[in-house]
Chains A and B, each alone.
Chain A
Amino acid sequence: MKFPAIIRLLLTFYKSFFLFSFLITLSSALLYWEYGPPILKVLAWFKLLTQGLTWYFIRTYKKKEFYYYRNLGLRDTVLWSVTLGLDMGLFITLLILTHQWRP
């Protein structure tokens, strides 16, 4: 499968939980804005925990859709590692930006 097609499929999968995940990231950024570096450790654990919950719920309630990606050559492990990695990258980026813009 060609690279653009792989990216397209990964984004489709990421969209299935993007809204929930982005709300978590956004609220973490707001909390960091309010409380600063002392809360960083709590936010990191909070994000990891919600990622774990996302993994559990998608695996449970959307497990039938994994056959779509398998039939197109994308393994479950690739789907999860890339999308959760991207999600964590977004979380870290937003926290860094919040840190820089914070008064």
Chain B
Amino acid sequence: MAPMNMHTPPASPLVHALTAKDIQLQFGDRPILSGIHIQCRTGRITGLLGRNGTGKTSLMRIIYGDLPCDSRSVTIDNNPLPRPYTQPDRVRYMPQFNFIPGVLTPERICLDFNLDFQGLANAFPEFHPLRRQRIRDLSTGQRRLINIYVISRSRSQFVMLDEPFTLLSPIQIEKIKTILEEEKQNKGILITDHLHQPIWDISDEVYTLADGRTRITSPPASTSRML
């Protein structure tokens, strides 16, 4: 009798790498992005900082594939990803505004994203009585929390979060940071926000975007000089 195959699967999840480079974007004659190289990997939170109007949101949308640009190279594990917005199991994107239709309830939103409503209610007990409330009737902060929660908790190799901490209270920011720390075990997270401190607190590496170029930055002091 042939011996059984004793191969055991690796204990840790597969590590994937999302790489964006050679991105060129111009608005009219004005160059916005020209020297981009950014990489995000499973198990890491990658921060992206920059002044208003430097192109952080444009960069995320170009990576997501829904903003046309002059040139672009986005790969996962060196495989080109021409339209990531058609593959939510690979990349999901939370824009800086509420993107959830106002008629939906927290329970229904969790169902759509294949999540348990109880998980949301445990993380944020204020949602317990709001299970069947339309989200257009919730506060701006509550809407933002649901946006962040469903994108960061849903199954995907990478998530991109555009200004998740804006509009949240310090306590809510701490909870979101905890969720992101947990979720990075399963995915890569690219995050940008005008609130720099939470980004520094949770990021494993931080890129700054200035003059159309990304630079990897380590200590907060050097970033505050650059920005």
Q: Which residues of B contact A68 (CB under 8 A)?
A: 99-101
Q: B98, A70: Cβ atoms under 8 Å?
A: no
**Could you give, for residues 61-83 of chain A, a 1 whenever the CB lies within 8 Å of some chain B CB and a 0 otherwise?**
01011111011110100000000
**Chain B 98-112, CB within 8 Å of chain A: the 1/0 string?**
111101100000001
Q: A72 and B113: CB pair below 8 A? A: yes
A67 and B112 contacting across the interface, CB-CB below 8 Å: no
Contacts A70-B85, A71-B88, A71-B92 known; A5 to B112 CB distance under 8 Å?
Answer: yes
Closest Cβ–Cβ distance, residue B100 to chain A (whole Å): 5
Main secondary structure of the interface of B (DSSP, over half): loop
Number of interface residues of B (CB under 8 A): 21
Q: Does A15 contact B (CB under 8 A)?
A: yes
- A88 contacts chain B at the CB level, 8 A cutoff: no
Contact of B100 among A9, A15, A65, A73 (CB under 8 A): A65
Chain A residues touching B, majority SS = helix
Nearest chain A CB to B225's CB is how many angstroms away? 35
Complex alpha-carbon distance, A72 and B85, angstroms: 9
Enumerate A70-102 residues with CB–CB distance to B below 8 Å: 70-73, 75
**A27 in the interface, Cβ–Cβ < 8 Å?**
no
| B-side contacts of A64, CB under 8 Å | 95, 97-99
Considering only CB atoms and an 8 Å cut-off, how many residues of chain A contact the other chain?
A: 17
Q: How many A-B residue pairs have CB under 8 A?
A: 47
A65-B86 CB under 8 A given contacts A71-B151, A72-B113: no
> Which of B99-137 touch A at CB < 8 Å?
99-101, 103-104, 112-113
Which residues of B sit under 8 angstroms from A16, Cβ to Cβ?
Answer: 101, 103
Contact A73 B99 (CB under 8 A): no
Q: Give Cα A4 to B178, complex, Å.
A: 33
Task: Indicate if A12 sits at the interface (CB-CB under 8 A).
Answer: yes
Closest to A65 in B: B101
Give the distance to chain B from A66, nearest Cβ to Cβ, in Å. 8
The docked-state distance in angstroms from the alpha carbon of A19 to that of B117 is: 30
Q: List 24 A-B contacts (CB under 8 A).
A: A8-B112, A9-B112, A12-B103, A12-B104, A15-B103, A16-B101, A62-B101, A64-B95, A64-B98, A65-B100, A67-B95, A67-B99, A68-B100, A68-B101, A70-B85, A71-B93, A71-B99, A71-B151, A71-B154, A72-B112, A73-B88, A73-B89, A75-B85, A75-B86
The 8 A-B pairs with the shortest beta carbon distances in the complex, nearest first, are A67-B99, A70-B85, A73-B88, A65-B101, A71-B92, A64-B99, A68-B99, A68-B100
- Residues in chain B within 8 A of chain A (CB atoms): 66, 85-89, 92-95, 97-101, 103-104, 112-113, 151, 154
Chain A contacts to B: CB under 8 angstroms: 5, 8-9, 12, 15-16, 62, 64-68, 70-73, 75
